[in-house]
Structure 1
Amino acid sequence: TTDLNNALLGFILTGYAGFTTAAGYIGHKYKVDHDISLMMPELWSRLSPEERDPEFLKNNGYLEKVEDFTYQGRLIPASRLGWRITPLFAATYLGRLFDTPSVVFTEDMLRPELQSIEEFVEGIENIEAAMEKSAKAYFEDGSYEAAIPPLKAVLSTMVYGNYEGKSIEHPEVRELFDREYVLRSDWYRTRLDCYREQEIAHVQTSIAYLKKFLADRAEPKSLTERRVQAELSSAYERLELLVSSNYLKRIWGSIGLDPLYRT
């Protein structure tokens, strides 16, 4: 849970936009190897910062949201697929790599439900089952309780399809992933406090060791003594910084320390 907390919090705080590629079968007509994973970074390097912005891509029709739908009386959670590139994206940006991108990235490749709705539904339900299985382990062993709120929302949605009765699209749930909201939250402040506590304990331990070393092992006026004295002076300066009233402001925006490792 700690690794997931740190990774997700880092994404939120840095505004990281996660784009992914996948290899394998796309419907029954196409099979894509990991060549696509090598090609997409090449394409991304040719995009401007604005063009790589998800909001720009969504607002201008380059990405489309996959929506849930009903099939044979069942709600199919197609939104688990997130957003996908559109024919417009292929024509505009993949044209920087291919002369005729529409021949390579056909519409039924970009929208595999056009090949077979039955296979599309089966694929989504397999994804749903895999998500539920992997996330359920966090509930069964209790580590869900150690997850930060945004991660709790993700895990709960993977298992139950909602978080505290709200869909992942609900404004209150979406707010959990907003950087400014995170920075104002109590749980984020707790992470910074935990980091400071650990650093203070670490520096105090170092000071005690260095003082003991000077008393027991360092020869007076030796090079070793001067070096240890310099290290001790640096440790005291670090401790003074850590206990200062404005230290938390200095590290505001960092991931802090997971409370699981509170000293």
Structure 2
Amino acid sequence: MQRICMQLAALGHQCGIDSHYSYLEVADSLLRNYSQHRRLLAHYRCPADQRIQDYLNAYLQRNGINSDIGLPGETFSLQQAGLAREVSLPYSANYHQSPLMESYRVAQGVLHNPKSDRRTTSGVFHIVEGGLPIPTDKRAVPVAVYAKLLEAALQPPDELMRLPISSGMEEPVDIWVSLLLRPVVRPEVKGVLPEKSLEIRLFAPGSLVANLDFVETIFGNAGDPFLPENDAALDIEHWTGHSGCIILAPHLTSLKKQELGLPHYDDASERQRKDGMCWSDKDELYNDGQAFKVVCRDINGVIVTVIADNYFGYSKKEVKSQISYSSNLFGGCEEEHAGGALAFPRFNLGEVYQPPQIHPASDKTFKKVCQQLESDIDIQPQGYALDRNYPEIIYVPQDAKIDMRSMCLGWQQDGEQQTIKLLKSQTYVYPSGFYVQLQRHPHAPSWRLVGTLGEGTFCHKPSTVSGGGKSEISNLCRLIPIFGPPFFSS
């Protein structure tokens, strides 16, 4: 609480959440000195903000828009983990309500109930023209319209700016809240590759600080963005060179298409008509008044997203999208939805398995296996071996025949027939890596020999979208067939 009071006092706000002000009196001269510095440096931005702000203005200028965008300068910076949670509830109450959220203090911490709880992304994704190609299933936004959306996003109504912790104070605090993230893009490979991360700045009106608390809980807190040790550009070994920005602006859903500069339906292009980027009635709301997020990004490695909603999930998903954006530009790493599996073909061998004869020059012999695994196996006099670490694994010669009818394995050694008992708890491995198991049919009272190739196929998707089938790769194939009695009809 002392830290929160100190930060608010440094920003020129009267602190009314703590009854002990002695530390503020001691620091009074320092705070007044800081206030003067802050006034003189009103246009100064921390390094991350300056990079993002320069990108936005250059992007707009490059696309013929003469507009000067300035990110929030005076913000309550969440410089350490936990601050967001403290300021998301009133100091002297266990409940807080705003038009967009209800918050409760509970025994386990906090409980936030946002007004929005989305379960669909239909019509949500809007991408600004003039950058990277826009997929046909996303909505293309003219650059001039984006400039007006951005300006409106940075001028939220007063009711959104109220910091919950100041609720009930004589002089409530209306302020922006900001957070610095450094989410990992490429994990460290010790001795080979260092960890790489990108920088992301989040801005939210004070009443939406709980949203930043949620994101911070998942991705961590990268500290004070003004300190050199937290400047990604000075950490070239661990920075991907990419910057992201997320601005929460739920009030944008009340803007009208006409006032944003969208064309009339008769003057719109075919793409604009398909995307709804035009109007027939002058009172039509942008995106029909529904939640959306608009993304501006290009090959330069900066991505700026405005989210017109307070749904926590959109903020989390946008951080993950920006991680994917950075990984795709950086290369040599995989995006968040990457994944895969090793697929080993299996066969129903029936009741008897007679292995094929191997070429005389082949090195896939039992003798070779004994040489390679000498320290890990116990060779038996009958000509097979037991695994010392996994007693259920048995290494058998290349000519071992498996017969369910006699429930044994047999092979020739020095002209004599050798046999061992066939058990369902054992796995019999041939020198080629092919292994056989005695298994019961999953839906019938019968048994069979099942063989599996020792060398699998690496099925890998380096990138895909959510819902693109990553999890299906690693599902067991035995879950796919449907077993049951056959039916015939004439």
TM range (shorter): under 0.3
Higher helix fraction (1 or 2): 1
> TM (normalized to structure 1)?
0.25
Task: Return the TM-score normalized by structure 2.
Answer: 0.16
Name whichever structure is richer in strand by fraction. 2
